[in-house]
Amino acid sequence: MQNLLEKAFDEATSFHRAGDLNRAENIYRSILRRNPRFVAALMNLGALLRQRGRHIDAIGLYKHALTYEPKNASVLSNLGNALNQIGLVDEAVMVLKKAIEIDPNHDLAHDNLGHIYSKRERYDQAKELLEMALKINPDNANALNNIGGVHLAQCRVEESIRCYRKAVELNPHFIMAHSNVLFNMNFSPQYTAEEMAAEHRAWNKQHALPLSGEIVRHPPRDVTKKPLRVGFVSFDFQEHPVGRFLSPLFRARNRQSWEAVCYSDVVAPDRRTDWLRSQSDQWRDTAGLTDPELAQGIQRDRIDILIDLSGHTGHNRLLVFARKPAPVQASWMGYFNTTGLDCMDYLIADRICVPPEHEHLYTEKIVRMPDGFLCYEVPPAPNVGPLPALSRGFVTFCSFNQLAKISDKALETWAEILGQLPRSRLVMRGKALNDATIRDSFAEKLSSLGISRDRMDLLPKTTFHDYLRTYNDVDIALDTFPFAGGTTTCDSLWMGVPVVTFTGDRFCHRHSASHIINSGHEDLVAHDIEGYIHKAIQLASDLDKLSKIRHSMRQKVSQSPLMDAKRFADNFRKCLEQMWTER
């Protein structure tokens, strides 16, 4: 009988690896009915249930397996991973430490614990564990991917890209590591826009084109059909920039014109999730579905236009789009570059983010919103305070963007600006600055560029309200490049702090300019670094003018297209109709 069970287990494992989760699950359960002590089947079924988002059920299986083999480090490693997924992080750490104690050469336990420490911003410990995982098993592509994440968090963009590339070399089918390469290239000035476009197309060739046999053929549909059924696919229907920018559209849309169907991979819903659910015509919780299952569900829902809100960011579903489950597919908001997919018909942008001379960089056809591709929603915010420079006698510059966006060239440029204004200061705030090593690294970089430590404040992440209140302590925001600010740009404008930027050669360098121009402040946008430096110094040299800008900015922004939700919703409707009729 045991030989028969082993044979059945091998068959289930083959189905599991091939992505046929239903058949694999049925066989695993059949095996366990015959032999409840079959630990390998308990482990694999647990892994399968985790793929389906059923982490609590998986935890039950792992704990059951431990009653038979309490010192099985692999079971403990998987249990730790599952506990982490449901937010029981302290328990997960304890279990993973036990796994390492039992088997110091268990690379996956080191990898899993290192990943948790990385998410907890304990980067040095994370790196030590992940490097140990690689020392134990140099072919552990997942550990390399996780080290890449640590490097990005510590603002070492080029090192992160190298790690992701090596992970893909080890495992050419490691789709998320390959997406991480592309996403991180957006932060790097080392690549031209043309080189990035070519690498995105290579991703399509490697991962999407092999699925061309699964592309759905859609029967003709009425071009005048109303209402259109529009699907949105995202992991970020929550308190996240995607959730924030989607909210004004959902609030102001005309439900008679189009229906919103949300395919949500959210695993930790919050109040924003609940609100977006309440504003949707249909809501599907999809975290436990495989890509083929989700594609089939979208097809059954007869979606007319399917919109991706992730691109190559984490937890993306691009392989759903590669199967073309809807007749029209578009990328919007969540990723500021081409997806590279042949099956992605459109990219929703505007004239600033993607001017006509950049269209060759995109596999998608560009559909342009007339007044900006996003609409900003007012957060609960403090009142705008007086210009600090008036009482201090010097200007305070700031950057509250993700620190990985601050390239060496940006730091050099900021140092040049501060060098020409000897009494000026720089304030930076962000999650990465919680780490003393990163704070010291940035301070050393600025000091080497001639900005002494007493001219900078490097502040850790704080609550959202306190983050907004920090704008009342600064005078001018300096945009990052080549990956410019987005949400932070809008927040800064709302708090009366002008953002100086310049337009570059890629979407992610230009989207801040789009928000600034559509807020009515085109004079803050330069076209090159020299103009950027000039505008920053010019603003800082006229405090009366800067004070007037500060006190008029909130009202001007509130009356601008950037915050006109009704106008934006009407433009978005026209955009949908354009994509539908042109298909």
Do the Cβ atoms of 376 and 564 come closer than 8 Å? no
Specify whether 124 is located in the same domain as 235: no
Do the Cβ atoms of 194 and 268 come closer than 8 Å? no
Specify whether 58 is located in the same domain as 144: yes
Whether residue 380 lies inside any domain: the answer is: no
Whether residue 381 lies inside any domain: the answer is: no
Specify whether 460 is located in the same domain as 505: yes
- Domain of residue 365, CATH code: 3.40.50.11380
Q: Which of 177, 194, 210 is the last residue of a domain?
A: 210
Digitized pLDDT (tens) for each residue of the chain, 583 residues in all: 567 888 889 999 999 988 889 999 999 999 999 999 999 999 999 999 998 889 999 999 999 999 999 999 999 999 999 999 888 999 999 999 999 999 999 999 999 999 999 999 899 999 999 999 999 999 999 999 999 999 999 999 999 999 999 999 999 999 999 999 999 999 999 999 999 999 999 999 999 999 998 887 888 777 676 799 999 999 999 999 999 999 999 999 999 999 999 999 998 899 999 999 999 999 999 998 999 999 999 999 999 999 999 999 999 999 999 999 999 999 999 999 999 999 999 999 999 999 999 999 999 999 999 999 999 998 899 999 999 999 999 999 999 999 999 999 999 999 999 999 999 999 999 988 988 888 999 999 999 999 999 999 999 999 999 999 999 999 999 999 999 999 999 999 999 999 999 999 999 999 999 999 999 999 999 999 999 999 999 999 999 999 999 999 999 999 999 999 999 999 999 999 999 999 8
Do the Cβ atoms of 470 and 525 come closer than 8 Å? no
The angle at the Cα of 78, spanning 73 to 80, to the nearest 5 degrees, equals 90
Specify whether 275 is located in the same domain as 396: no
Q: Which of 165, 191, 210 is the last residue of a domain?
A: 210
Do the Cβ atoms of 157 and 404 come closer than 8 Å? yes
Whether residue 532 lies inside any domain: the answer is: yes
Q: In degrees rounded to 5, what are phi and psi of residue 292?
A: -60, -40
Specify whether 570 is located in the same domain as 548: no
Secondary structure class of 548 (helix, strand, coil)? helix
Q: In angstroms, rounded to a whole number, what is the distance separating the alpha carbons of residues 218 and 227?
A: 18
By C-alpha distance, which of 516, 502, 511, 520 is closest to 556? 520
pTM surpassing 0.85? Answer: yes
Specify whether 365 is located in the same domain as 503: no
| Buried b or exposed e, range 487-499, using 16+ CB within 10 angstroms | bbbbbbbbbbbbb
Whether residue 382 lies inside any domain: the answer is: no
- Domain of residue 408, CATH code: 3.40.50.2000
**297 — alpha (psi -120 to 50), left (phi > 0) or beta?**
alpha
User: H or E element: which one contains 460?
Assistant: strand 456-460
Q: In degrees rounded to 5, what are phi and psi of residue 258?
A: -155, 150
Q: How far is CA 433 from CA 148, 258, 400, 443, 467, in A?
A: 18, 43, 11, 11, 13
Specify whether 198 is located in the same domain as 122: yes
Specify whether 106 is located in the same domain as 124: yes
What is the CB neighbour count within 10 angstroms for residue 44?
22
Q: Which of 182, 210, 238 is the last residue of a domain?
A: 210
Tokens, residue 203: 């991703």
Whether residue 541 lies inside any domain: the answer is: yes
Whether residue 62 lies inside any domain: the answer is: yes
The number of folded domains in the chain is 3
Proportion of the chain in helix, strand, coil states, percent, rounded to 5:
55, 10, 30
Specify whether 577 is located in the same domain as 558: no
Tokens, residue 323: 């199967």
Whether residue 383 lies inside any domain: the answer is: no
Specify whether 201 is located in the same domain as 242: no
- Domain of residue 101, CATH code: 1.25.40.10
Structural domain boundaries, residue 574: 213-375+566-582
Q: Which residues does 247 contact at the CB level (< 8 Å), separation at least 6? A: 272, 275, 276, 279, 377
Q: Which residues does 552 contact at the CB level (< 8 Å), separation at least 6? A: none
Do the Cβ atoms of 311 and 344 come closer than 8 Å? no
Whether residue 519 lies inside any domain: the answer is: yes
Q: Which residues does 214 contact at the CB level (< 8 Å), separation at least 6? A: 292, 295, 322, 323
Q: How far is CA 351 from CA 357, 368, 513, 521, 576, in A?
A: 10, 6, 11, 16, 17
Specify whether 310 is located in the same domain as 189: no
Radius of gyration over every alpha carbon of the chain, rounded to an integer in angstroms: 25
Specify whether 546 is located in the same domain as 558: yes
